[in-house]
Chain A
Amino acid sequence: ELKVEQNPLFLSMQEGKNYTIYCNYSTTSDRLYWYRQDPGKSLESLFVLLSNGAVKQEGRLMASLDTKARLSTLHITAAVHDLSATYFCAVLSGTYKYIFGTGTRLKVLA
């Protein structure tokens, strides 16, 4: 059974600092997703990572995937307050089942 773990669960950081969120999963998978959720809102897709070594960047966020280590990272560069949200990774289990991590609640302090 595929398990997905994120750490840290909570992250409070200063504006302008860099940090990384980690997503580990327990069995082989072909796809990994990152989503963002603002408080009381729905989920918004950030990245889809398909292959080993895949790297995608959007603004201050960069996601990478190491399928051999079963690890994805979401790196935040020079954080700004607008990045405060909860970030989820999700991994495809088998053909159609998506397993989500527990989420990382990020708070960026001015």
Chain B
Amino acid sequence: NAGVTQTPKFQVLKTGQSMTLQCAQDMNHEYMSWYRQDPGMGLRLIHYSVGAGITDQGEVPNGYNVSRSTTEDFPLRLLSAAPSQTSVYFCASSYSGVVGSTDTQYFGPGTRLTVL
């Protein structure tokens, strides 16, 4: 299994540009999520999905869109990039995320995004 994969690894954008960060998993996990990691702030949840066709907002959803058309893929779209979106983005997945389970999240390698 490849686990959780993310592309690209690095990206530089200009303010106002749009782009999509790709995330895929081959573990048949229902739950997928996107986080951003900024120095001194830990990881903050952007959006999450509990299955194909079902998404919801996390702590910091503004400026980002997601969709989940398949179990495997969960792309993150930046609609109009801003310097405040400069960060490292991690995608993660887990089997179900159901309360009481012992599921843990598996994280992708991350995408380092710089917005000029």
Tell me the A residues contacting B by CB distance below 8 Å: 4, 9, 30-31, 33, 41-45, 48, 50, 88, 90, 92, 95-103
Contact check: which of B50, B100, B102 meets A96 at CB < 8 Å? B50
The answer to whether A97 and B59 have CB atoms under 8 Å apart is yes
Interface presence of B107 (CB below 8 A): yes
Closest A residue to B43 using CB positions: A100
- Interface size for chain B: under 10, 10 to 19, 20 to 34, or 35 or more residues? 20 to 34
- Residues 22 to 59 of chain B near chain A (Cβ within 8 Å): 31, 33, 35, 40-45, 48, 50, 56, 58-59
Task: Give the docked Cα–Cα distance between A100 and B104 (Å).
Answer: 13
A42 and B107 in contact, given A48-B102, A100-B42 (Cβ under 8 angstroms): yes
Task: Give the docked Cα–Cα distance between A92 and B107 (Å).
Answer: 16
Nearest 3 interchain pairs by C-beta: A45-B104, A100-B42, A100-B43
